[in-house]
Amino acid sequence: MLLRVSILSTGRWIRVQLEDEYAPIGLVQCVGGVLTLASFQRDFGYGKQDQTRTNALSVGLQQLGAFVGCFLASPIAERYGRKKPLVLFSIVFCIGGVLQTINTGSLTTFYAARVVSGLGLGASTVVVPMFSSEMVPTELRGQIGSFFQLFFTLGIFTSYWIDYGASFIKGKPTIQWQIPIGLQLLPALLLGGGVLTLKESARWLSRKGRHEEAWESLSWIRGDDSRSTIDEMKAIRSGVAAEAQETEGFELKELLHGDYFRRVFAAFCIMAAQQATGATAFAYFGPQYFTLLVGGGQRVLLLTAIFGAVKVAACGAFVLFLANTFSRRQVLIGGAAAMAVCQIATAVVVKIRPAPDDGSVTSSGIVTVALIYLFVAIYNISWGPMPWPYMSEIFPARIREPGIAVGAASQWLFNLLFSLTTPYMMERLGWGTFLVWGVFDVAICVLTFLFLQETKDLSLEAIANQRFDKRV
């Protein structure tokens, strides 16, 4: 599927391409619901005593593959562009998805397949924001970049409801878990096929001296060949010429010095902070978290599915109405503060009124569920969507590709860290898990206020030319 949207901006129609490369991300990660299905536990031969380790490895190993994939993506994208690598990464992901869907009865094989899928997934998260930042007009960059998170949440939303529906399959046959696992192939196939209908990045084509193709790409995505588009093409060619001089003789060790290091470190920290909010851990282990809040039972899958719907609604509202309204700093500082309140309040309620063993409905359970829904809504209008466009826009041309790779790798590194530790946190800390996330959110709020630099409404060239050592 390819969504082509015409947006009226600055007196002209701009055709903005919203690629389906965002779609696979959410669907393939939410294996937590599948791990609660009795049929999966039976076919792979593990019991309750092994659930914590299985949960951690099933999610964490995919993030390990994604972390490695980030470093493979940049050189491939530099040589072959943006389209062909995304097709390749989709194929790699699908190979892993097929191996996961086959009932091998071996957790080792399942784990290995998760790593393979992660390679394709992580590599895509480097190329997608790179592609987006190169093709989207300055005034729409924050909004279009935020679609990354919107499609993430749509995938999560879909997977939650599929898991919930699969839990009603009678007799608990193997197909009960194969349906949700196998359906992750669909958005990946849409990515691989859909990206073939796009034009290659105009900036990348200009860098390779393919100027006629670059003009064709830019005029197609803008939907016209007006004077403003001609001027934009001239600016791109001029910028590319400057970039060629800037990147000549580049060495990776430059990332460790001066202003370049500050930008790379900022990207590393902001993507790490996105994971440290606790929201991604909720996405992966939703059923397990709701068990802490309301006790066991099939309703935890329903609560998790509603959780996914809240994510989609909040992120959609942000992308459509709020993305260009507030500054980057306002969104991120306010979001972290509000999330801290929700998490700490949840910890207090769960500590005072733990979930009953019989799974009965209690007022404290209703309150904590409401707090978590509010938490995830706030995340999806702040730290969910905003880090992706911010990370993609802060680098000058000389270090853009390795810089974005470092930022995306940071996201997957801390994704891996929290994926492996969250099941053990829930098992051993219980209510303290929410307190940990709340303390992290407080720290994120303070550090963002002190150090984050504003980039809203600035061109990539303007951001590159300003020193990255003070707030503006």
The residues spanned by each domain of the chain are: 15-465
Cβ atoms within 10 Å, residue 398: 20
Tell me how many degrees the CA angle 88-56-69 measures, rounded to the nearest 5. 20
pLDDT at 98 (0 to 100):
95
pLDDT at 349 (0 to 100):
93
The mean of the pLDDT values for the chain is 83
Q: For 190-240, how does the pLDDT look when each residue is reduced to its tens digit (9 = 90+)?
A: 888 888 888 999 989 998 989 999 999 999 988 887 888 898 899 888 878
Torsion of CA 365, 369, 375, 379, to 10 degrees: 150
pLDDT at 377 (0 to 100):
94
Superfamily of domain 15-465, CATH level 4: MFS general substrate transporter like domains (1.20.1250.20)
Tell me how many degrees the CA angle 452-455-461 measures, rounded to the nearest 5. 130
Residues linked to residue 7 through DSSP beta bridges, in sequence order: 14
Cβ atoms within 10 Å, residue 113: 24
* Residue 434 banded pLDDT, cuts 50, 70, 90: very high
pLDDT over 70 for what percent of the chain? 89
Of 6-10, 252-256, 362-366, least confident by mean pLDDT is: 6-10
Cβ atoms within 10 Å, residue 242: 15
Q: For 58-110, how does the pLDDT look when each residue is reduced to its tens digit (9 = 90+)?
A: 878 888 898 899 888 888 998 999 999 999 999 999 999 999 999 999 999 99
For residue 168, what are its two tokens?
């009603």
Decide if pLDDT at 372 tops 80.
yes
Region 294-313: mean pLDDT is 82
274-284 CB burial, b ≥16 within 10 A, e <16: bbbbbbbbbbb
pLDDT at 459 (0 to 100):
72
**CB–CB of 26/154 below 8 Å?**
yes
What length does the chain have? Answer: 472
For residue 356, what are its two tokens?
């009953």
Decide if pLDDT at 22 tops 50.
no
Measured distance CA(461)–CA(120) in Å, rounded: 31
Decide if pLDDT at 16 tops 60.
no
Decide if pLDDT at 296 tops 80.
no
Query: How far is residue 141 from each of residues 57, 241, 268, 429, measured CA to CA in Å?
Result: 36, 23, 20, 41
